[in-house]
Structure formats: C-alpha cells, structure tokens
Amino acid sequence: MTLRLHNTLSGAVEELKPLSPPEVRMYTCGPTVYNRAHIGNFRTFVATDVLRRALRHLGYKVTSVMNVTDVEDRIIKFAADAATDIKGFTEPWIAAFEQDMAAMRIEPHDHFPRATAHIPEMVALIERLTARGHTYTADGSIYFRIASLPEYGRLSRLDVAGIQAGTRVDNDRYEKENARDFVLWKLKSDEPKWAQWDAPFGPGRPGWHIECSAMSMKYLGETFDLHAGGVDLIFPHHENEIAQSQGGTGKPFVRHWFHVEHLLVDNETMSKSKGNFYMVRDLVDQGHRPDAIRYLLLQAHYRKKVNFSFEGLGHAVAALERIHSFVRRLPDASGDGPVTPEVEAAIAKAKQAFDEALSDDLNTPEALAAVHNLVSDGNSLLVNGLVSRSGAAALRATIEVFDRVLAVLLPSDEDRLSPEEQALFDERQDSRKRREFQRADEARKKLEGLGVILEDTPKGTRWRRGR
Ligand code: AMP
Ligand code: ZN
C-alpha cells in the first residue's frame, strides 16, 4: 500500500515515492541538548516516530537519522558557566533525551549523529559552496549569499523580490521578514578554545543549518526521500539546508518535506513565562502516564495544532483503559471452535480502516477510531459468545499489528518486545517471506540469545520469554 503524505515543497498531499523502493531514507531534526526536551518537541518526535512505523507497516524499509545539535550559542554559554566543555555539558542531556525518548516509546534511530563529531564534513561542504560561488567572508565569518541561488525561498514561499541583497545575519534563528545571507562558519575569537575548530579558511565554529545538511547527506546520500521537523523549522532552517545542499552538490536535496504543527498548552503557546511549559520528565515524575501523553499526541492529525491539558490527559487515560481492558478480557474467551465469520469481518473492517487512515496523510485520529471500533465490535462479540479461543488470538494479533505503529495499545504491565528484539523478529519474518531461510534462522538464534523463543503456529509466529 502506498502512503499519501503532505509535502511542504509542493503544498499538496502526494504519494511518497522513494528513490530506491522499498527503502525510505528519512532525517528528523533532533534536539538542541542544553536542557530536557519539552512536550512540544515530543509532539514532533512522536509524529515522526509514527510516520516511520507506519511506513514499515505499509511495507517500506526505513533508514532513519536524527541529529543531536551539540554546538550552539546557549550550549557554549551554559558549558562555560558550568566550568566544563561541550562534551561534559551535553553528555547528561543526551542521556536524558534518550531516556525520555524511551518513555515516549520512540524507537531509537538507525543513526543519532552529533554535530561536534561531523565538523570535517561541514568544513568540506562549506568549501564546495565556496568553489561554486555561493559564499563570501565578512569580519572573518563565512556567509551564504542567498542571491546566488535562484531557488532560494521556494520551500517557505518567500517573496524573494522583497529581500535586500547583501545584508546578513549571524543568529541561527530569525524571522522570515528578515531573510538574509546567513552564517555558515562563525569566527568567535571571544569564545572558549574548546568551542573552536580549525579549518582551511580559519578557526571558528559551524552555524546551525550547515550541520543538518552535512549530516543528513553523509548518512542518507546527497538526494534523499524524506525530511521532517516542526513547522517552525521551515524558515529559516530547512530553507537554508536546501540552499546549502543544493548549492554544494547541484542536485535536488530532499524530495518530500514533512512538517508537524505545534503543540499548545491550554490553547496557548507554551512558554516559561506563562508557567505552562512542561517537560515530559516532569509529567512522568508527577505520575502521569507516558502512554497517555503519547495517546493524546496521536489524537490530533499532525498538520493540526494539538492542545495539551490535564483534562485532555485524563480523557486519554480513559480511552486507553477502554482498549487495554478489552485486551485483558481476551484470554477469558473459551471454546475450541474456529474464528467465527463475525470476528473475521470485524478484523477485516478494522484492518482496512486502519491502513486507509495511515495511507491518507498519516491520519492517526482515524487510525485510533479504527481501533476503538474494533474494541466495540469485539466487546459485543464477546458478550454474545461469538469469540472462541482462536478468535481471541486473532483479535489480539490484530491489536499487536496496530500497536507496532501506535505503540500505546497494549497494557504496559504486559511484556512486550524491546525495539531491538522487535527489529530481529520483523527481520526474521521478512526473510522467511523472501525465502532467505539462513538469514531468518540467524535472526531466530539472535532472539534466542536474548531469551526470546519463537513458535510458528498455523496462526502466525508467537514469542515467549525463556531459555
Ligand atoms: P529545538 O530543540 O528547539 O530545535 O526543537 C526540536 C524540535 O521540536 C523541532 O523539530 C521543533 O520544530 C520542535 N518543536 C519545538 N517546539 C514545538 C512545539 N511547541 N510543538 C511542536 N513541535 C515543537
Ligand atoms: Zn536540522
């Protein structure tokens, strides 16, 4: 099944057409690690996690990269204030981020590169840009000359005619009204030595935008399929990434741009001064359920604003409990009969609705509705004695398939496969389908090594813990 997805570049919902199907290569702009990430950040990261899982569900193979921005004005200031250096300061924040990602059931990315480990790649890209006439030096810093690239402004629909050529900006973040030549390499002789790198064009440090161009192209190629981030990154960050990459290579950079709308708190923009600023960690420490936070985020379509409130979180818990109690009831089914036509029909209807929802611009609220309909149908079939033990197993298996995308449907007190185990499980199933039995066997043995035993039954492969 194909995925129709909104593309910011064209402004339309269009079929995602990967360069080398079935592989989809995707990049998500990751966190700036000077603090814990807030629930707004996680709205974007959960949306891209579901996108990745949905792609896999629809038959694609995904290579996913998320960067870590670990060189930046605030990081350097805070590290200096704490009398440490970049690594000393950012390491605990990176660990905290990974902990929050796991709490939000976001799968680890295939690559999680840090900007500071990719300075040579950035320097090389700046040299390519210079060789192709896209840069100039002013006061020791290097700037991208936006007038040198006719397509500048296409992603953000900028009125290029209104831009004053030759004015420049040193900040990494600025408004669309102030579109200017932006900095690629900053001369910062007043900053600590540990925040400076040597380069053929003089010591300094990279601007924010160049890091994502350099790292995405390193891991995914000069042209790749999908690039994701929050809507606030469309301008200037993603516009500038396109300029740097296309300016440097002369090739198209990204085919499909995926942008996630913002999260509001009590219908207002989140801000520290308003006191409505929440970190995932604080909410979890206060006893709120991470699966309910994830559920709340999935209840809105990614292109609509989602509102966070404690009342909404309460509704999310109730909705989740409805699904979880159904899953817990399934083992009560009795009878050795086959799966009844009623159960078969309910499952077929749910699967179709679920897949159609995901394929239609990642419509997670509709996908959740398909799950709730299956729960309603399943509950009444249970009451009417139409669910045999094999019917219950089929219902459970369906919820498990849906949960590989949504990752909130199974009660969390239940055992589940870790992402690593799940990847091995999926690899074995795929290899078997392709009749690559040796690979399948290797995956099965690796799982056994992790204490997961597989059992192939007429109804599919089951797993249990054991040695
Ligand atoms: P930052 O660390 O500020 O670069 O943000 C990391 C990611 O979170 C980016 O993709 C931002 O667009 C996204 N983001 C920041 N604030 C929000 C918000 N309130 N709602 C949704 N996404 C956000
Ligand atoms: Zn980025």
> What is the 44 CA–ligand 1 centroid distance (Å)?
7
- What's the 280 CA to ligand 1 centre distance in angstroms? 13
Residue 350 Cα to ligand 1 middle (Å): 33
Omega within 30 of 0 (cis) for the link into 22: yes
- Nearest atom in ligand 1 to the alpha carbon of residue 264 is 19
pLDDT (tens digit per residue) in 74-106: 999 999 999 999 999 999 999 999 999 999 999
Ligand nearest to the CA of 263: 1
CB 28 within 8 A of CB 228: yes
Q: Centre a 10 Å sphere on the Cβ of residue 153 and count the other Cβ atoms it contains.
A: 21
Instruction: Please name which ligand lies nearest the alpha carbon of 214.
Output: 2
Contact assessment for residue 183 and residue 211, using Cβ atoms and an 8 Å cutoff: no
Beta bridge partners of 169: 182
44, 274, 293, 304, best to mutate for ligand 1 pocket (most atoms within 8 Å of CB): 44
Start-to-end Cα distance in the chain: 38
pLDDT for 133: 98
Which atom from ligand 1 is nearest to the alpha carbon of 262? 20
How far does residue 103's CA lie from ligand 1's centre (Å)?
18
CA of 93 to the centre of ligand 1 (A): 16
Ligand nearest to the CA of 234: 1
Q: Which ligand is closest to the CA of 297, given by its number?
A: 1
pLDDT at 177: 84
CA-nearest residue, atom 8 of ligand 1: 41
Smallest Cα–Cα separation from 282: which of 31, 36, 34? 36
Distance 397 CA to ligand 1 centre (A): 35
Cα separation, 267 vs 276, whole angstroms: 10
pLDDT of the residue at 414: 62
> Any idea of the CA torsion for 378, 383, 387, 392, to the nearest 10 degrees?
50
Structure tokens at 129: 């840009």
Question: For ligand 1, atom 7, which residue shows the shortest CA distance?
Answer: 41
- Which numbered atom of ligand 1 lies nearest the CA of 233? 12
Ligand 1 centre from 40 Cα, in Å?
Answer: 6
Annotated domain spans of the chain: 4-260, 297-412, 416-465
Neighbours of 309 (CB within 10 A): 14
Which pTM value belongs to this model?
Answer: 0.89
Residue with CA nearest ligand 1 atom 18: 40
* Beta strand pairing call for 23-28 and 181-186: unpaired
What are the pLDDT digits (tens) for 389-436? 999 999 999 999 999 999 999 987 666 677 788 889 999 999 999 999
Tell me which ligand sits closest to the C-alpha of residue 227: 2
pLDDT at 352: 98
Longest dimension (CA), the chain: 81
CATH number assigned to the domain with residue range 4-260, chosen from the 4 options 1.10.1740.10, 3.40.50.620, 3.40.50.2300, 3.40.50.970: 3.40.50.620
Q: Give the β-pairing of 452-457 and 460-465.
A: antiparallel
The CB density around residue 411, as the number of other CB atoms within 10 Å, is 14
Going by C-alpha positions, the residue among 203, 198, 200, 166 that lies closest to residue 182 is: 166
pLDDT of the residue at 307: 97
Torsion, Cα 349 353 356 357, to 10 degrees, reads -170
Kindly report the protein residue whose alpha carbon is nearest to atom 12 of ligand 1: 230
Residue 64: strand pairing partners:
26
What pLDDT does residue 333 have?
93
262 CA distance to ligand 1 middle (Å) = 8
The ligand minimizing its distance to the Cα of 239 is 2
Which of 49, 57, 153 minimizes the C-alpha distance to 107? 49
Compute, in angstroms, the gap from residue 154 CA to the centroid of ligand 2: 17
Can you tell me which atom of ligand 1 is nearest the CA of 28?
10
d(CA 442, CA 428): 8
Distance set, CA 279 to CA 43, 244, 267, 334, 463 (Å): 12, 33, 17, 45, 35
Site to substitute for ligand 1 among 8, 45, 232, 267, most atoms within 8 A of C-beta: 232
In ligand 1, which atom is closest to the CA atom of 237?
4
Residue 101: CB atoms within 10 Å: 23
Per-residue model confidence as pLDDT tens for the chain (467 residues): 899 999 999 999 999 999 999 999 999 999 999 999 999 999 999 999 999 999 999 999 999 999 999 999 999 999 999 999 999 999 999 999 999 999 999 999 999 999 999 999 999 999 999 999 999 999 999 999 999 999 999 999 998 777 777 899 999 999 988 899 999 999 988 999 999 999 999 999 999 999 999 999 999 999 999 999 999 999 999 999 999 999 999 999 999 999 999 999 999 999 888 889 999 999 999 999 999 999 999 999 999 999 999 999 999 999 999 999 999 999 989 999 999 999 999 999 999 999 999 999 999 999 999 999 999 999 999 999 999 999 999 999 999 999 999 999 998 766 667 778 888 999 999 999 999 999 999 999 999 888 778 888 765 787 766 66
Residues within a 6 A CB radius of ligand 1 = 29, 31-32, 40-41, 43-44, 229-230, 232-233, 260, 262-263, 270
Give the ligand 1 atom nearest the CA of 230: 12
User: What's the 196 CA to ligand 1 centre distance in angstroms?
Assistant: 27
The Cβ of residue 372 has, within 10 Å, a number of other Cβ atoms equal to: 14
Closest CA to 256 of 228, 284, 232: 228
